[in-house]
Amino acid sequence: MHKTHTRRSVMAGAAASAVVLSATRVGAAEPTVHEVAIKAFEFDPPQVQARIGDKIRWTNHDLAPHTATADEFGWDTEEITKGESGEIIVTEGMETSYFCVFHQHMKGTIEIV
């Protein structure tokens, strides 16, 4: 038995395939922006859980300038002044412990999940 395909059946099949592909993309996790406040000479929160591709943004609420700098200097936000922000993208194998180069008692960690 030979089945013929009409233009309508081909178009309906293509539309159904597009819906399935679209639903698959929607289910994929979008990168998240994690906010860390710098206030009273502390990182708040001091630990961030993030996935590869997520962004971490530090915003300075203190009068003094600060940084978020990896312990081994693998990444750095550079100087962040009052009201300003600095950010990084989480990458595989990156350093996860950080501190402020101006105030070395200020420490934080990133947990890659």
pTM here?
A: 0.75
Q: Is the pLDDT of residue 25 over 50?
A: no
Q: Is residue 23 part of a domain?
A: no
CB contact at 8 A, 90 and 98: no
Q: What is the CATH number of the domain that holds 108?
A: 2.60.40.420
Q: Is residue 68 part of a domain?
A: yes
Please measure the distance between the N-terminal and C-terminal CA atoms of the chain and give it in whole angstroms.
54
Q: Is residue 1 part of a domain?
A: no
Q: Is the pLDDT of residue 7 over 60?
A: no
Over residues 38-83, the pLDDT tens digits come to: 999 999 999 999 999 999 999 999 999 999 999 999 999 999 999 9
Q: Is residue 11 part of a domain?
A: no
CB contact at 8 A, 48 and 110: yes
Q: Is residue 85 part of a domain?
A: yes
Q: Is residue 4 part of a domain?
A: no
What is the rounded distance in angstroms from the CA atom of residue 103 to the CA atom of residue 98? 12
What is the rounded distance in angstroms from the CA atom of residue 39 to the CA atom of residue 33? 19
Q: Find the domain containing 68 and state its range.
A: 33-112
Q: What is the model's pLDDT at position 29?
A: 79
Q: Is residue 13 part of a domain?
A: no
Domain count of the chain?
1
Which contacts of 23-31 are long-range, i.e. CB under 8 A and separated by 24 or more positions?
A: 31/55
Q: What is the model's pLDDT at position 27?
A: 55
